[in-house]
Structure 1
């Protein structure tokens, strides 16, 4: 028997003499009973003989009716004698857990730290700590117990022991326990509580399994002021390994629960565990680092780095230093651990420490990328490389030749993995490595597809610096080969594994490629369009099981979605939208997209996103680029497929959506780009609407009234030429072309819908536009002047009253109106 286990048996043995104070039923049960003839019977399904079960029931009765903590411990001793734990089924263990409760181990810890008089004060604090943590570790194996508030309230005590050793006391409060607002956390009250006599071991109460006082947590019983209780264990001695293992067992079980990572984060686990590693406390390498790695790989990763950047950066520096100093063989094994401790991309770290750490890591990785290693050894190297690229881009990787080699190795890995499917299925490890390779490939796309673009100095350098034209073509070539393998894999898998996370990341990677490059592999891409559209449509409409993918998105803390990382079914189409924008502009792919009813899919997406956007009360304007991209694709159909727009019912739904949305967007200045897309899309489809002989549709009138008001707000008179209005100035580069296209579409709408001219005149758009032209010598550019002139020409030819107003202004003023030759010609007709 290990010394620590023997010591715990001695602790329980000290309490054995208290059996004499227990009930008569308890006294009749003894060690000899186990050897009764009934033990020879066959074991039941629970693993116990009939005699054991009978005695167990009496033990449980004694445990349930124990009058104090000492009686409870003695009853536990009896149960361990009668029935070893490995023979108890889960239901029986649950009964034991419920009978013991969490109050006892919590009070043992409190008494150990606080001290005080009591019938068991003869026990050293070390023994109380050992016994309390052992009970907590046993209780935490039950899922419900691991999430119980009383067990969670002991976490700061356990963290204090692990971080600061046996000399820890509550008044030496670990750093990081303050809440985000600077107030004490729920586990550390703002005011110190006096030591309470009733919290000591062996207290007697109506409910002996609850701490004294109403809703009193162990921390509250301990007290936070100095000088409370007896002296803690000597700080010279390190924490016992068995005790530390029990503490980590409790924390690990809590971490494994549904909200465990959040519970640990809110109770200061991250800074405490970082301190344990920094001080090289007991089991800090064996238990603490893996627990921290699990925590920092979960969904709390961004929050943890946001709340504790200094501690985590120091931890990362230590892990990186160990990695750099390790032997070659150990480095290959450590490649799988280092990514757990890296910050998520986008976390702002003001100092240059992170760049320095990443630079050191690349210094070690470069020869590993160049080395001849087995595929099993190369995989972790590629995973770590992908993570470093996510953080700092290509700038720190090395010379262009090495960057090209890294891209090439990633592409080869993708081809080797995907081209063997379905003859050889992918293992989880292979999927992880290929996913990392996708990220390396995506990081190389910008340079390969858009060489020479100026990079934003505020962002990581995504392009490979110094890459010449020949190298760029080589990168593009290996990327094309890799994405050919991706297309092959998607063709083989089909829709049967739509809920598979790896299929999703493969789909996403191909969409990223298609957003940049549509000229390569055109025939293969067109052949794959049915899969791409049906995959996106299936997720959007909620067909099939998505739970695995939803859980994966949550666990990976995917935050580049419109729902803040939560799987909503929209993410697949969002990634596909940029490619659809390109493909819908080309004749061949557009034919296939129409056959697949893609316009209806896009309209359904817009309806869903607008409903979510409008439902966000109080949000002045959260821009959603995916809605703008969807509008661009629909514009391509509206421009090129007039017959489809006239006949397809989805465009009627679109008109209803736009007439509802545009008036609302007029009051959302931060959503001006979306308003421009909605306005132009509505006008482009409106020009194809056949004129009705009946009364004007209220839905149409509402939209056109809002559209005219929107178009009229773009320009204002200047001292010379007209200027872009203040509200539009920030977005002019993005919306100028949409504004011009909208004016041209307005002209077509006036010709198709004669009643629209009266709306333009009576609503004030015509008068305001003429006033602008009269007060300005010119428009900002010839294209804007030509678009506005086309709209005025349509009004002049369609409406005599409009023609009269234009003539009157033209006769009285010498502004920009006089330079519009086509308009003057229309007035002369």
Structure 2
């Protein structure tokens, strides 16, 4: 609560707080502090009368008078929570909202000047907002635009001025009378003596807000200025910010503030250097922009936030010494999310200036506590704009080296050493710097292998010698990462920092397959156990996501939030590499890795299927899981025959592939599933009983899928890749050819498939295409088609006859150039 006192017939609010943050009464009414349990019977009786009067007050004057008596009897800081709650319920939010509405209209009918109405209203709101239920109440939320307008434009704020700002931003104007209308319909105090006039809004009178009575003020040196120099009273401003800060701390508070225009208003307050805008407004903006509302805020207010970022960056660059070091923790809050930068936005000048300020700091001798925030800011800038604005190659190498040294020092501690939250944040930033350096350092060609689509990922001008140096320090750092993960007990699988460490190592293994082979193979039991734990939902994903957000960590590779289920996703590229090598593959088989991959695919397919008619997006991780399973299928045929997980996989493929035939955007996934299923099918013996329905369904879909790759409809001449496949041919061409070869193996192992080859029209379509075209796209395609045709001809006399007839009539076409096919027909 606030303290009220009578002064010359008007009510005044004191917003002073005691050391605990509780509002206390005025000196005149406080007396000795009394706990409510220490009140005498007479005092309790008076308190009850006051509460009764407060509850049944017939007008606002009675309400205020009752509040005065209560605070004189027992200051707010000494009231227990139950009594405070009764007071809150009696006063409600109607009175302070009406006080604000009347003040911003500038009506003379209230009997009080606008500044006192504002003081009363904001102090009441600040007091009432200390109760979480009150802070989340719709009536209090309707006052937020009023408070924001005051903070942004000072005493001269008006709804008309706010509407102009909103129109300039392309926003729908708020309804200024909404607060008053809600109070009128909900308040039990039907008579509002201090705020009687309920006509429309008016701007506060000039006499009440400006000593000059004009729009122009006077600077300290006496020169006229274009804006009023009248600022809000600091106590009033504190109360306004108190309400906003309390609302922001609520679960849905940031969204509530964002929806009510908090970002542009607070940016305007900073621009106009309003009272406490830097001390309280900037941290509040930081809170809004560093949480889950960051991307939404940037999408709604890009111009204001770009201007704010430029201002914060300028302050950072102009600061010196310890002040600049302290600001390293501030700047990341105001950076946009990687991938969430507004279109047509050039952040390069700001990034260049920030790096120019960071370079001397990274080259200086700093304590670990000072270096940590510098590395965190560096990681955030790398996430956002890559290496291009960082600086010369020598400095880039220095940055990577400092990050690697920090990782080694932080992780090569005895197993029982507990890492502080600050060190965890520093190490997480170092991981991101290391990841940013991996692609370039692991490339033997350096800049020559840079992709035009990602020009910022490489360290420009890095020599081969420097690449080797970076690779060496990265190897040393990841040796420390492996050592640390070897010490992790399963009870710590839910620790978010362990997830960050695990992810970093997976990023390294995705790029580098030749270093630390023995150490990585020895770590496989941990990696698989950790991934399986997260896939099975044994970790708290929400806590992980929140921690990553607090650490200012963005997931650039996946473009989404951190979740525990991503553990397998990050490990998949490494599993592809490791399953292709004999020694680690044997270890992976002992760890039941194929079953884990099948479970991952099953869950991924369930997620895709659950989207129904929604737009389906490609999930590369499912394709990578197929590649790893394909490695096992090719190299471990006996495992495929006896492991029950592959039977489960066949059921999944028979369900998914027919659906994917009608999803052009998922063609790469369909190609992976089709090829994987055919490679498994060639290892299966011919069924003794009637063919199962799911097997028939899969092979029918596979034949239809394979038939759609080539298009000869344009007439004689070379066969072209069909338009639906052309965009993806570079990725699926090899899979398609492998699938054809596997189909030939399936025909040999399971002759019943010949019937489907004829029924589904695959043979007729292929023969017609080969008979009408002159050439195929490439020799590999011709070889794959020839191989499967030879297998079909060998197993089916009718097919052999059809092929022979067409071959004789198409001696000069693509079919006629298939020497192995001609030879096999002659032999048989």
Calculate the TM-score normalised by the size of structure 2: 0.89
User: 763, 766, 770: which one pairs with 1:766?
Assistant: 763
Q: Secondary structure at the match of 1:373?
A: coil
For each residue in 1:258-310, what CA deviation from the matched residue of structure 2 results, as whole angstroms up to 9, or x when unmatched?
11111111111111101111111000111011111111101111111111111
Residues 5 and 11, structure 2, Cα contact 8 Å, conserved in 1: no
Name 1:603's counterpart in structure 2: 598
Q: Quick one: structure 1 residues 567 and 199, their matched pair in 2 at CA, closer, same or farther if it must change by over 3 Å?
A: closer
1:715 maps to 710
Partner of 2:159: 170
Distance in 1 (alpha carbons) for counterparts of 2:9 and 2:797: 108
Partner of 1:184: 172
Task: Give 1:446 deviation, angstroms.
Answer: 0.8
Residues 120-142 of structure 1 show CA distances to partners (whole Å, capped at 9, x for unaligned) of x2211101101111111111111
What secondary structure is seen at the aligned counterpart in 2 of 1:607? helix
**Contact 2:544–2:564 (8 Å) recurs in 1:** no
Deviation (angstroms), 1:501: 1.7
Give the 3 Å change call, closer, same or farther, for CA 773–11 of structure 1 in structure 2. Answer: farther
Quick one: distance in 2 between partners of 1:599 and 1:179?
A: 58
Partner of 2:470: 475
1:85 paired residue number: 76
Q: Does 1:807 align with 2:783?
A: no
Over the residues paired in the alignment, what is the CA RMSD in angstroms? 3.1
Q: In the TM superposition, what is the alpha-carbon distance from 1:179 to its structure 2 partner?
A: 12
Q: Distance in 1 between matches of 2:190 and 2:655?
A: 61
Residue 587 of structure 1 is matched in structure 2 by 582
- For these two proteins, the number of residue pairs brought into alignment is 788
Answer yes or no: is the 8 Å Cα contact 2:103–2:118 preserved in 1: yes
CA deviation profile, 1:565-615 (whole Å, cap 9, x unmatched): 456542111111111111111111111111111111111111111111112
CA contact (8 A) 1:194 1:223 kept: no
- The 8 Å contact of residues 760 and 766 in structure 1, kept in 2 or not, is answered as yes
Distance in structure 2 (CA, Å) of the matches to 1:12 and 1:261: 41
State the partner residue of 1:368. 361
Higher mean displacement: 561-570 or 737-746: 561-570
**Residues 1:748 and 1:248: Cα distance change in structure 2 (over 3 Å):** same
2:405 corresponds to: 412
| Equivalent residue in structure 2 for 1:67, among 37, 44, 58 | 58
Q: Deviations over 1:54-80 (max 9, x none)?
A: 443333222222222222212221221
> Displacement, 1:688?
1.5
Match of 2:746 in 1: 749
Confirm whether residue 247 of structure 1 aligns to residue 245 of structure 2: no
Query: 1:482 and 1:647, CA in 2 relative to 1: closer, same or farther beyond 3 A?
Result: same
- The SS at the match of 1:528 is helix
CA, structure 1 residues 48+556, in 2 after alignment: closer, same or farther (shift >3 Å)? Answer: farther
Once the two structures are TM-superposed, the CA of residue 326 in structure 1 deviates from its matched residue by 1.4
Distance 1:752 1:249, change over 3 A: same
Within the candidate set 602, 608, 629, 1:634 is matched to 629
Whether the 8 Å CA contact 1:770–1:809 is kept in 2: the answer is yes
With 161-170 and 56-65 compared, the bigger mean Cα shift is at 56-65
- Tell me if 1:157 matches 2:146: yes
2-structure distance, mates of 1:259, 1:361: 33
Structure 2 CA distance for partners of 1:442 and 1:554, relative to 1, 3 Å: closer
Aligned mates of 1:91, 1:149 — CA distance in 2: 22
Is 1:570 matched up with 2:561? Answer: no
Residue 424 of structure 1: how far off its partner (Å): 3.2
Partner of 1:647: 642
Residue pair 2:711, 2:721 contacting (<8 A) in 1 also: yes
| Aligned twin of 1:23 | none
| CA–CA distance in structure 1, aligned partners of residues 260 and 663 of structure 2 | 40
Counterpart position of 1:519: 514
1:22 corresponds to: none
Give deviations 1:474-516, integer Å, cap 9, x for gaps.
1001101111111111111232222222111111111111110
Q: Cα distance 1:311–1:575, how it changes in 2: closer, same or farther (>3 A)?
A: same
Match of 2:734 in 1: 737
Pair 1:174–1:239, CA change in 2 (3 A): farther
Partner of 2:689: 694
**Matching of residue 315 in structure 1 with residue 308 in structure 2:** yes
Give the alignment partner of residue 123 of structure 2, picking from 134, 137, 153. Answer: 134
How far is 1:551 from its partner?
3.4
- Structure 1 pair 509/259, CA: closer, same or farther in 2 (3 Å)? same
Alpha-carbon separation, structure 2, partners of 1:245 and 1:396:
40
- How do 1:447-596 residues align onto structure 2 when only pairs under 5 Å count? 447-450=440-443, 451-452=445-446, 453-459=448-454, 461-552=456-547, 560=555, 565=560, 569-596=564-591
Distance 1:50 1:598, change over 3 A: farther
Change in CA separation of 1:460 and 1:307 when aligned onto 2, cut-off 3 Å = farther
1:379 paired with 2:379, answer: no
In 1, are the aligned partners of 2:29 and 2:72 still within 8 Å (CA)?
no
Point out the more displaced range, 398-407 or 491-500. 491-500
Cα distance between partner residues in 1 of 2:429 and 2:396:
15
Structure 2 SS opposite 1:173 = helix
Distance in 2, Cα, partners of 1:673 & 1:204 = 60
Of 667, 670, 675 in structure 2, the residue corresponding to residue 675 of structure 1 is: 670
Structure 2 counterpart of 1:207? 188
- Partner residue, 1:825: 823
Residue number in structure 2 paired with 1:14: 10
Closer/same/farther in 2, CA of residues 35 and 346 from structure 1, 3 Å limit: closer
Change (3 A) 1:156 1:820: same
Question: Does the CA-based 8 Å contact 2:774-2:814 persist in structure 1?
Answer: yes
SS of match in other structure, 2:390: coil
2:545 and 2:562 in contact (8 A); partners too: yes
**Compared CA separation, residues 471 and 702, structure 1 to 2 (3 A):** same
Match of 1:786 in 2: 783
Q: Which of the residues 76, 85, 91 maps onto 2:67?
A: 76
Per-residue deviation at 1:351? Answer: 5.5
Tell me if the contact between 1:193 and 1:221 (Cα under 8 Å) persists in the aligned partners: no
Secondary structure of 2:497's aligned partner: helix
Q: Does 1:302 align with 2:265?
A: no
Structure 1 residues 560 and 431, CA gap change in structure 2 (3 angstroms) = closer
2:103 and 2:114 in contact (8 A); partners too: yes
Q: Say whether the 8 Å CA contact 2:383–2:554 is kept in structure 1.
A: no
**Corresponding residue of 1:233:** 209
Distance in 2 (CA, whole Å) between partners of 1:327 and 1:531 is 46
The 1-side partners of 2:358 and 2:751 are apart by 70
2:100 maps to what in 1? 109
Residues in 1 aligned to 2:418 and 2:470: alpha-carbon distance in whole angstroms: 28
Provide the C-alpha distance between the structure 1 equivalents of 2:336 and 2:401, rounded to a whole number of angstroms: 26
Residue 624 of structure 2 aligns to a residue whose secondary structure is helix
Q: How far 1:161 moved relative to its partner?
A: 0.4
* Structure 1 residue matching 2:107: 3-state secondary structure: coil
Q: 1:271 to 1:568 in 2, by over 3 A?
A: same
- Tell me: CA distance 1:709–1:206, structure 2 relative to 1, closer, same or farther (3 Å): closer
Q: Could you tell me which of 90, 99, 110 is aligned with 2:90?
A: 99
8 Å contact kept, 1:620–1:670: no
Conserved? CA contact 1:497–1:503, under 8 Å: yes
CA offset digits 1:321-363 (Å, max 9, x no partner): 1111112221111111111111211234456652111111111
Which residue is equivalent to 1:27? none
Q: Which of residues 429, 435, 443 is equivalent to 2:436?
A: 443
Take 1:210 and 1:543, find their aligned partners in 2: how far apart are those partners? Answer: 59
Query: How far apart are the structure 2 equivalents of 1:646 and 1:419?
Result: 44
Tell me the SS of whatever aligns to 1:9. strand
More divergent stretch after superposition (154-163 vs 591-600) = 591-600
